Every structure is written in C-alpha cells, then in structure tokens.
Chain A
Amino acid sequence: MDPLSTALKVAATGLTAQSERLRIVSENLANAQSTGQTPGSDPYRRKTISFAAQLDRPSGTSFVEVAAIGHDRSDFPIEYQPGNEAANDAGYVKMPNVNVLIEMADMREANRSYEADLQVIKQARELISMTIDLLRSQQ
C-alpha cells in the first residue's frame, strides 16, 4: 500500500485511540461523586487507559491501539457525611478516587493529540490531491 494511504490509516488509529481516552475521561468525570449504595461500600473507582504501538508489518509503520483499560488502585478519600446512605457507623463516606484537575489535564492532552492527528489527515489528503492535480489542466 502506498505510504500516503498508510499515513491516513495511522492517523485514523490515533483518532480512535484518543477518542477512547476522551470517553474514559468523561466516565471518570461523570462519576466523580458516585458513592456506594450500602454503608461502608466502595465508591466508583477511577479508570485508566494506556496505549501501545502496534507494528503494521506490510507497511512497516506503527499503528496505535488501546493496550488496556485499567483501574486506579489508589486509596479512596474519606469525607464526613453522616446523612449519606453509604456512610459507615462513624459517618464517613468513601469518595471516588477521581481528581477533577487531573481529568481536565488529561482531557486537554487528548484534545491536543486529536487535533494533531486531524492535521496529519488533512495534510495527507492535500498531498494526494496535489499528486492527482498533475493529471489535470495540462494541454
């Protein structure tokens, strides 16, 4: 396959990976306050995502793919909320280990990388049409 179509394909895998990442970020943000249902139960656990380079042997370039969606094993912060249904005997509730600032930073980074991938797709298309233009408008 010609390198320019490969470039398009690789950038497309980048788009898929970054949008998957954005989905994880939105899940984490949406559940930033999701506590458990029963007294003393665990709340929502923050999800993590990691990428891996995948060699495409016919073209020799590296695609990107989602390697694993994992869980953040860090401790849950504890808040004093006696009225909450998930509060234990002493009135403390385990809150999700989601840090909104970290999620926002992650979102920004995913955004930037997505934009860069889009730029590559745009440019590869331009290069292809420049080549096709060689056939055009010549007597």
Chain B
Amino acid sequence: MQVNLFDLATKQAQWLSVRQSAIAGNIANVNTPGYHALEVEPFAKVLDGNRVAMQATQPNHLVGGAGAEAVAVRSREEQGAAVLPSGNSVVLENELIDAGDVRRSFELNTAIVKVFNRMTMLASKG
C-alpha cells in the first residue's frame, strides 16, 4: 500500500499545532486554582481514526479538538505529588519540555516535506 507522505505530514503538523495550543493553555493557566493540565492524545491514535471526540462546554470537560476536529484533547492523568494545594496540576517544567519536543518534531516535519517536495519536483522535471 502506498503511503501518502504529504497527507501524513499534514496530519502530523496539525496534531503538533493542537498540541502546542494545549501546552499554551496549560502554561497560561499555571497559576489558576483547580485547573487540570490538558494533554493531546498520542499521534498513533489519531492515525487509527476511529475515536469519539466529545463537545466541551466547561473547562473541566473532555475537550474535542482545538479547531481540528480530528484531534482530541483530554485532561491529563494526575500524578499525585504534582498537584498543588490549590488543585492545579500543571508542572511548568514538563510543559516546557513538551514544547521543546513539539518544536523539534515540527522542524523535522517541515524538513521532510521540503525534501519530499524537492524529490517530486525532480521527478516531474526530469
């Protein structure tokens, strides 16, 4: 079966930007009492494609995708010690590490698209 690389790369870029906006939400709410850190479902699950995303009406609901209806954002499972007395479960360091990860993956993604595009152009021009 042929893999459509452009489609795959687009999907990953979309997933990464949803992830970036989830991280932005977590960091913006780093001092909000009772806020639960959000995380995006793994990319492998997005590729599976048979999931149910729900509509959110409250900050503590499961959130269904930031604009991209394909990617679901959910509340992160809490690791006991990380929850502050105010009920906030954001760990700033972890969020920044995640942000670095998103950046690296995005860089790789765009680089691959560039190379693939060059290959396509080479093939079509001969």
A55 to B106, CA, bound (A): 26
Q: Do A116 and B30 form a contact, CB below 8 Å, given A3-B66, A4-B20?
A: yes
Number of A residues contacting the other chain (C-beta, 8 Å)? 46
A2 to B38, CA, bound (A): 18
With both chains docked as a complex, state the minimum distance between the C-beta of A65 and any C-beta of chain B, in angstroms. 9
Q: Which residues in window 23-71 of B have CB below 8 A to A?
A: 23-25, 27-33, 35, 38, 56-59, 61, 63-68
The DSSP consensus for interface residues of chain B is helix
Query: A-B pairs with the 9 shortest C-beta distances?
Result: A14-B28, A7-B24, A3-B17, A7-B21, A3-B21, A53-B59, A10-B24, A51-B32, A6-B21
Is the beta-carbon distance between B110 and A11 smaller than 8 angstroms? no
Nearest chain A residue, comparing its CB with the CB of B40: A3
Number of B residues contacting the other chain (C-beta, 8 Å)? 46
Asked if B118 CB lies within 8 Å of chain A CBs, one says yes
Neighbouring A residues of B78 by C-beta, 8 Å: none
Neighbouring A residues of B96 by C-beta, 8 Å: 116, 119
Nearest chain B residue, comparing its CB with the CB of A12: B28
Is the beta-carbon distance between B28 and A13 smaller than 8 angstroms? yes
Is the beta-carbon distance between B21 and A62 smaller than 8 angstroms? no
The one of B23, B31, B32, B121 in contact with A120, judged by C-beta atoms closer than 8 angstroms, is B23
